[in-house]
């Protein structure tokens, strides 16, 4: 028994450095992993927190706006961004994907139509020889994912309705281009 104990203690003593080194390595690894995970959690919480903050800020702004509209607190004013705050380049930059291409094409057509007669310009059909296009008589205003596209589709089912082929974004993106641009590029279908 005592021989066995002696043998075990000798083995422990022989390998104690390796055992200690292994323990130190694993502890360091554990320490490193826990610090990394904690940092990750903290940054996630930070993101969520800032999202919530933004949400509450927006909610607050909206509520203040409503109060202002309802006359509950007339001293608080809503600060609106003036329509000309964005330079034309910025507005162009907002157009994305396919729409960017369509807008560019429309701009080119528009500029060529202003330099040459409408009958000569390549983007014009024969029906565009009319002096001007009408402004829309109704406008659908909605938030993203608010179902505006569906509403437009439903309204367009009526035979007396001539609808824009796609969302115009005149008031939020292309306002600086002016009413003439809007009227010309109202992208109404052929009845427009």
Ligand X SMILES: Nc1ncnc2c1ncn2[C@@H]1O[C@H](COP(=O)(O)OS(=O)(=O)O)[C@@H](OP(=O)(O)O)[C@H]1O
| Residues making contact with ligand X (CB under 6 A) | 142, 144-150
Contact 140, 148 (CB under 8 A): yes
Active site residue 92: no
Q: Is 146 annotated as a binding residue?
A: yes
Considering 39, 40, 145, 165, which one is annotated as catalytic? 145
| CB nearer ligand X, residue 111 or residue 166 | 166
Contact 174, 151 (CB under 8 A): no
Instruction: Return d(Cα 65, Cα 73) in angstroms, integer.
Output: 9
Residue nearest to ligand X (CB): 149
| CB nearer ligand X, residue 174 or residue 184 | 174
- At 27, list the tokens: 């502890």
| CB nearer ligand X, residue 102 or residue 148 | 148
Q: Is 147 annotated as a binding residue?
A: yes
How many other C-beta atoms can be found within 10 angstroms of the C-beta atom of residue 184? 19
Q: Is 149 annotated as a binding residue?
A: yes
Instruction: Return d(Cα 130, Cα 114) in angstroms, integer.
Output: 14
Q: Which residues are annotated as a binding site for 3'-phosphoadenylyl sulfate?
A: 145-149
- Tell me the catalytic residues: 145
Q: Which residues are annotated as a binding site?
A: 145-149
């Amino acid at each position: 028994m005592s021989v066995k104990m002696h043998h075990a203690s000798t083995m422990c003593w022989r390998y104690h450095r390796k055992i200690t080194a292994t323990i130190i390595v694993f502890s360091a690894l554990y320490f490193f992993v826990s610090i990394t995970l904690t940092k990750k959690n903290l940054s996630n919480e930070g993101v969520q927190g800032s999202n919530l903050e933004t949400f509450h800020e927006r909610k607050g702004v909206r509520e203040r706006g409503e109060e202002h509209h309802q006359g509950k607190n007339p001293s608080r004013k809503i600060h609106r961004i003036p329509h000309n705050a964005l330079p034309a380049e910025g507005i162009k930059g907002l157009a994305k994907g396919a729409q960017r291409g369509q807008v560019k094409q429309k701009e080119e057509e528009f500029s060529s139509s202003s330099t040459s007669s409408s009958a000569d310009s390549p983007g014009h059909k024969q029906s565009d020889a009319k002096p001007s296009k009408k402004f829309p008589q109704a406008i659908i205003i909605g938030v993203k994912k608010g179902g505006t596209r569906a509403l437009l589709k439903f309204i367009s089912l009526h035979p007396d309705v001539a609808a824009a082929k796609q969302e115009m974004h005149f008031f939020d993106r292309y306002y600086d281009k002016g009413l003439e641009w809007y009227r010309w590029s109202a992208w109404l279908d052929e009845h427009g």
